[in-house]
A and B are shown apart, each in its own frame.
Chain A
Amino acid sequence: MTLKLHINGKTYGVSSDPGTPLIYVLRDELKLKGSKLGCGLEQCGACAVLVDGKVEMSCVTAAQAFAGREITTIEGIGNSALGRRVQAAFVEFSAAQCGYCTAGLIVATTALLHRDAAPDRAAVTTALSPHLCRCGSHPRVLKAVDQAARS
């Protein structure tokens, strides 16, 4: 039986080996290249996606583990009003330099604000700490998160 994955509101039949880590299925087979591979070790957060509304790294866990669950990638974040608000806030505050960490951060922020509409600073940094940014856009990201929470 082919593996079926629910991604961004659509169902995809997947021909990759079901043991393939989800990120390779997203990027190579389904051409959803917004999620980035930064380490392959669940240490940097660049590959984060939403799974049933919670943040999960996609670079280690096999695609088959995501069967029957609702996956949202950066390409589908804008399907919700909250996701669009987060994206707009990142633009408004120029919350990126090179942009490689941006997809993961937007995914994590959307999940955070979904479960906590008005997170305090500790909740924000806890939610974002699994995500590395090497350009130092952190202060702008934190402002964008505050803005998205307020609006």
Chain B
Amino acid sequence: MSIDAYPLIADWITTRDGRLLVHTGKVDIGQRISTALTEIAHEELTIPPDQIDIAPVRTSRAPDEGMTSGSNSIEQSGHAVRCAAATLRARLIALAVSRLGGAPKDWRISGGVLRVPGSNRQISVLNLIDEVPADTEIDRHAPFLTRPPGTVAKPAMRGLSEMVLGRFTFVHDLEAPGMLHARTIHPPHARARLDRIELKTTDRSRVEGLHIIRDGSFLAIAGSQEWPLVQASVQLAKACCWDPGGGVPETDVFTQLVTANASRFPVIDGVPQNSGVPDALPKPDMHARYERPYQMHGALAPSAAMAHWDGETLKIHCHSQGIYPLRTSIADSLGLRHGQVDITHVPGSGCYGHNGADDAAFEAALISIALPDTPILLKWSREDEHSNAPYAPAMVIDLAAKLADGKIAAFSAEAYSDTHGARPRPGPNRAGPARLLANRLRADAIGPVPPQPNMGRHTGIHRNLDPIYAFPKKRLVKNLVTGGPHRTSAMRCLGAAANIFALESFLDELARGQGADPIAFRKAYLTDPRDRAVLDELQRKTMLLPDLPETGGRGIAYAQYKNQMTRVGICVDIDTDDRANIYLTRANIVADAGRVIDTEGLSAQLEGGFIQAASWALYEAVTWDRDGILSRDWDSYPVIRFGNIPTIDVTILNRPEDKSVGAGEASPGPAIAAIANAVFDATGIRMRRMPFTPDAIMQKAFAD
């Protein structure tokens, strides 16, 4: 818990230049956490949003909240800031009483001012905060302020007004006096090692005057002018002779996942157990296998970082989602004390998980150590990001059910996957440094270390493997299969995207097999009124939809993220043509995220999650051959574009009495399944492997 480590009000809330300054360890990656924190501080202290700032997230000052991941920012940082602000309000009222009299109940707060109604006694909240002793602890039970609707201002999205003017600063835009631009020359694939560099005379002229940094197979080039540097990096890359080290295995990954030796764990109530795996269901009435290929984060901006080593301190600006663990891992990699590495978060483009941000930060650090007293701005190329950032692992999910009187009497789910957890967190066997790409390439190479199974509740592979539905008997198994062809790590939703795709497709198959209504079929296994309320609302919205064209289809799906966070029901309408193109026409999303803080931000996350998932479902798959990754740009790795964006209708069931829960990863799982179910509705073809490209649909049609 964030408050346990940072129990003081001043850890979270201070003032600066007469404005409120909110401190957080969670970084804004486009998910609007800074907007939500502004809203929370405003709700509790009534200070107008335009007088509230969010402090830069920096290892030397911000609360260490580890990773910004798992849709936890609202529950962790949001809760801490709310408790700190609520405590602060009580302390401020006590101060007002001691200074100007009256009883605490006489004082009212609004517009950032404390006043006694009917008197001239009033005092500004901002002026009073500095008089609260710096060591005042947060009272976790301080009552939150409830204000009548309409009296709470809705802050505009942080940074948006600068973005539309082209004035919002990304890490790529940073400058410093004497700065050099840098590029890394990455191996063609993870197993290749740099044998030698053979620069021809004609190439030399381009490269001369630039700095070439080499440490084993880690190779970088730096220079003062960016474009000449980019050209030189291309020449340098051409001059590299790589030992392919056996190349990239071309085995069928889906076969490999289910046949290789796996670390197997039964999962009970979402938690893997160190005990024997129960036998498979004997003679199931229904069995199906679902598959998700390797997919990439594919951030719009290739990763970048600025680093500056002055012989004592290594200052880094980067867009990592976990600057504290990264700080520790970089310090360990370089033999520095943790305090010698100072990382500040600067926005990059949307990341959706562990992309190249951490690797680029460490590479910039290596270059800056080689070129001391010189700020280094390293930018990866598009190809670097596509072919070197960690991927979301390929997954296979085997589902089976035994039926009794048409009802599910026993259910089995087995998920097979490589790790989803390879962020550079410190751990045994120098796991932190080992998970930084460049450390694998340096002359004194570190790693990789074999991934350890994540045994937490609804983490990694088994996130949402446990159905939310009350099936009488459940057999759930997690299979960690290591040694796949690619480096894998966390991408939005982790295992939940594929697990929910599988489960919600499977239920659709069962429901259709019985001619049952898919919503009623699900409700038969749900008793929680909040689950049922989401599905009831989805049903109501679905009844209002226009009829589908003959070539159209409709699919629904439901999930509660991690079985404990945001509940999402989705209905998707599609149209098709005779070449098996899928056109998304309409999506209805119904969600319950508890108490709503930033309605717009919540809707934006649900919509964005839907669209990213639609892109996974219809377009995305990493391809490779023995010589390396073939998905090296947006032509060889197509993603969704404006031509296939449905009309999206979001309905949020606000629960003011309930805890706020994160929603950034709640919609993708049900989105994929709803699309698959709509494809079946339209075509009679059951797509059990993503992506549902026209080719894949045609192949499946001929195979069926």
Known: A39-B634, A74-B165, A74-B166. A98 touches B160 (CB 8 A): no
Q: Which of B285-293, B541-549, B640-648 contacts A (4 or more CB under 8 A)?
A: B640-648
Known: A34-B166, A38-B301, A91-B161. A132 touches B633 (CB 8 A): no
B164 pairs with A140, CB closer than 8 A: no
B227 pairs with A129, CB closer than 8 A: no
B159 pairs with A40, CB closer than 8 A: no
Distance A98 CA – B351 CA, assembled complex (angstroms): 9
A64 within 8 A of B: no
B383 CB to closest chain A CB (Å) equals: 9
Distance A16 CA – B604 CA, assembled complex (angstroms): 41
A71 CB to closest chain B CB (Å) equals: 14
A128 within 8 A of B: yes
> Which chain B positions have C-beta within 8 A of A31?
175
A58 within 8 A of B: no
- Total number of A residues with any Cβ neighbor in B under 8 Å: 56
Interface string of A45-56 (1 = CB under 8 A from B): 010000000000
Specify which of A94, A98, A125 is in contact with B300 (CB 8 Å cutoff). A98
Q: Which of B501-509, B518-526, B607-615, B685-693 contacts A (4 or more CB under 8 A)?
A: B607-615
A99 pairs with B168, CB closer than 8 A: yes
Distance A98 CA – B609 CA, assembled complex (angstroms): 14
CB under 8 Å from chain A, chain B span 182-236: 225-228, 230
B166 pairs with A134, CB closer than 8 A: no
B635 within 8 A of A: yes
Specify which of B166, B167, B168, B302 is in contact with A35 (CB 8 Å cutoff). B166
Specify which of B160, B227, B633, B645 is in contact with A139 (CB 8 Å cutoff). B645
A124 CB to closest chain B CB (Å) equals: 8
Using C-beta atoms within 8 Å of the partner chain, give the interface range for chain B.
35 or more
B642 pairs with A128, CB closer than 8 A: yes
Specify which of B170, B173, B350 is in contact with A97 (CB 8 Å cutoff). B350
Distance A120 CA – B227 CA, assembled complex (angstroms): 40
B604 pairs with A94, CB closer than 8 A: yes
> Which chain B positions have C-beta within 8 A of A39?
382, 633-634
B175 CB to closest chain A CB (Å) equals: 8
Specify which of A90, A102, A134 is in contact with B639 (CB 8 Å cutoff). A134
B142 within 8 A of A: no
B172 pairs with A99, CB closer than 8 A: no
Distance A38 CA – B302 CA, assembled complex (angstroms): 7
Distance A44 CA – B170 CA, assembled complex (angstroms): 17
Distance A84 CA – B634 CA, assembled complex (angstroms): 31
Interface string of A103-130 (1 = CB under 8 A from B): 1001000000000000000001110110
> Which chain B positions have C-beta within 8 A of A75?
165-167
B607 pairs with A136, CB closer than 8 A: yes
B78 within 8 A of A: no
B262 within 8 A of A: no
A97 pairs with B31, CB closer than 8 A: yes
Known: A43-B633, A137-B604. A100 touches B301 (CB 8 A): yes
Complex A-B: 18 CB contacts under 8 Å: A16-B225, A21-B227, A39-B633, A40-B381, A46-B300, A74-B166, A97-B31, A97-B350, A97-B604, A97-B608, A98-B350, A99-B349, A126-B643, A133-B300, A134-B298, A134-B350, A136-B611, A137-B608
> Which 10 pairs of residues, A with B, have the shortest CB-CB distance?
A34-B166, A136-B611, A136-B608, A74-B166, A98-B30, A97-B30, A100-B349, A99-B163, A98-B350, A128-B642
**A35-B166, A90-B164, A137-B607 known; 9 other A-B pairs, CB under 8 Å?**
A41-B634, A94-B604, A96-B163, A97-B30, A97-B604, A98-B350, A99-B163, A138-B611, A138-B645
